[in-house]
């Protein structure tokens, strides 16, 4: 999972660059969705009486990797271009966009395990492919709404040679990804090379300019580093928290029986509840609740999300099983923290990075997820119960101890982010530069 996530998010910067400079944001969105459709269709075929064997599974995952890479950064880049620089509505718009994404996630997380159990995984993956086909048709039908919005290539006739080159490149890289998924060392090594190259290009661009524009880009870089820490915690949901739900949480919510995997639907559920409230709060508070403070508060809530499980472990029953209410609270804290960090990460990039490199910078934001995916996989191994241990009391001790370490470590980082938030806010507002100019005048 760590290698797959790393390749997905590591390829997003490439997709952002393609949208910015090569074929346009809107065309890249459509192409990415088509490549994703192929990936899920192949995954459905592989699940059909083991058609194609293990090799087809890896090829399917390769197409899903590249489809995500092309798609993921570009809808947010397109949204950012709808608003003028400095528009106070941007944070609220990205929060509602994030809610819309999680609305789909909520229903898919509830339906997919049920479809897979009742009808088989081939049908579940087939439904995913059909959903993506509907997405492509819907986007093409609604494209007139944003006909005057997009990157520079969007506003000119398509260059057929460039488009064909991107298609061939996407197919080739899909097969390369399939190979890398079978060789984790090389996948991680390439991620390191790609990551370092992207960071180098970003910092090179930042230091090639001066004044407030450079300062904002450097603040964005600091906030991206905070994002890495957040995403390490975020990726515990499909790993550590999932296994914890299997071993140590009662499998019902308010008396309704659920499968352990369905607890993940609590994440988009909380996001749907909290998003409109936070969007209104952002619009009302404006600059009084600046981006660095939002990131810092997100880290505080993420810390609490793990500490609440450590505290709840003290109230486990005689069988070592905890009430699902503790996991509901945990997901609540983490989901609101997610809205403050991940949900606003794209808005942060839109605010602080020049329009000319918006898609690339959006991709770099997603690269924080790729970096975190590798670290998160290592953290998840710490919570995995050793082979042969199935006793709930033993797994409860393992999980609660590691969650305590994660929670307290995150709390320390949260305090640090709160301490530097005032300085970063002054830099963003240009107050530091103004004071320097006044002192030298």
DSSP string, 250-313: -SEETTEE--GGGGGGHHHHHHHHHHHHHHHHHHHHGGGS-HHHHHHHHHHHHHHHHHHHHHHG
Q: What is the mean pLDDT of residues 353-373?
A: 78
- 203-259: pLDDT as tens digits: 998 898 888 888 889 999 999 988 888 888 777 766 778 888 888 899 888 888 888
Of 98-107, 334-343, 409-418, the poorest mean pLDDT is in 98-107
What is the pLDDT, as a whole number, of residue 145? 85
- What share of the chain in percent tops pLDDT 70? 91
> Above 80 in pLDDT, residue 134?
yes
| Cα–Cα distance for residue pair 119/169, rounded to 1 Å | 35
pLDDT band, residue 388 (cuts 50/70/90): low
Domain housing 55: 2-440
pLDDT of residue 308: 95
- Cα-based angle 365, 368, 374 (whole degrees, multiple of 5): 155
Q: What share of the chain is helix, strand, coil (3-state, %, to 5)?
A: 85, 0, 15
DSSP structure string for 335-370: HHHHHHHHHHHHHHHHHHS-GGGHHHHHHHHHHHHH
pTM higher than the cut 0.85: no
Classify the phi-psi angles of 211: left when phi > 0, otherwise alpha if psi is within -120 to 50, otherwise beta: left
Lowest-confidence segment of 11-25, 99-113, 425-439 by average pLDDT: 425-439
Q: Indicate the range of 60-69, 91-100, 199-208 predicted with least confidence.
A: 91-100
Q: How many domains does the chain have?
A: 1
**β-bridge pairing 252-253 and 256-257:** antiparallel
CATH number of the domain where residue 123 is located: 1.20.1250.20
For 52-75, what is the mean pLDDT? 87
Residues 6+ apart with CB under 8 A from 281: 289
What would the pLDDT profile of 259-291 be if each residue is shown by its tens digit? 887 888 888 889 888 888 888 888 787 677 788
């Amino acid at each position: 999972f760590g290698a797959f996530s790393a390749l997905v998010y590591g390829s997003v910067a490439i997709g952002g660059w393609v949208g910015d400079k090569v074929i346009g944001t809107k065309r890249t969105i459509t192409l990415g969705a088509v490549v994703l459709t192929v990936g899920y269709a192949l995954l459905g075929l592989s699940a059909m009486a083991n058609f194609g064997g293990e090799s087809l599974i890896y090829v399917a995952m390769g197409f899903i990797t590249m489809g995500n890479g092309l798609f993921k950064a570009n809808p947010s880049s397109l949204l950012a271009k709808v608003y003028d620089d400095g528009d106070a509505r941007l944070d609220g718009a990205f929060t509602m966009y994030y809610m819309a994404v999680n609305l789909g996630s909520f229903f898919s997380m509830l339906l997919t395990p049920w479809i897979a159990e009742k009808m088989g995984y081939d049908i579940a993956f087939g439904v995913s492919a059909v959903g993506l086909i509907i997405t492509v048709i819907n986007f093409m039908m609604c494209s007139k709404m944003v006909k005057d919005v997009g990157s520079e290539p969007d506003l000119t006739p398509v260059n057929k040679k460039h488009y064909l080159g991107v298609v061939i490149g996407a197919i080739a890289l899909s097969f390369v990804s399939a190979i890398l998924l079978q060789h984790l060392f090389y996948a991680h090594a390439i991620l390191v090379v790609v990551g370092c190259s992207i960071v180098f290009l970003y910092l090179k661009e930042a230091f090639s300019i001066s004044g407030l524009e450079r300062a904002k880009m450097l603040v964005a870089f600091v906030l991206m580093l905070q994002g890495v820490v957040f995403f390490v915690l975020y990726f515990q949901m499909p790993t550590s928290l999932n296994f914890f739900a299997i071993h140590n949480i009662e499998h019902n919510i308010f008396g309704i029986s659920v499968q352990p995997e369905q607890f993940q639907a609590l994440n988009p559920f909380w996001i749907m509840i909290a998003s409109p409230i936070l969007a209104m709060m952002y619009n009302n508070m404006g600059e009084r609740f600046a981006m660095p403070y939002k990131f810092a508060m997100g880290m505080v809530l993420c810390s609490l999300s793990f500490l609440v499980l450590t505290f709840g472990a003290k109230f486990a029953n005689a069988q070592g099983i905890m009430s699902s209410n503790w996991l509901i609270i945990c997901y609540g804290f983490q989901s609101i923290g997610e809205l403050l960090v991940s949900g606003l990460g794209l808005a942060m990039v839109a605010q602080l990075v020049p329009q000319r490199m918006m898609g690339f910078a959006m991709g770099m934001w997603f690269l924080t997820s790729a970096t975190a995916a590798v670290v998160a996989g290592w953290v998840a191994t710490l919570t995995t119960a050793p082979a042969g241990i199935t006793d709930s009391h033993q797994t409860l001790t393992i999980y609660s101890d590691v969650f305590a370490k994660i929670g307290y470590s995150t709390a320390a980082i949260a305090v640090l982010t709160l301490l530097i938030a005032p300085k970063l806010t002054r830099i963003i507002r240009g107050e530091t530069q103004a004071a320097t100019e006044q002192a030298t005048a």
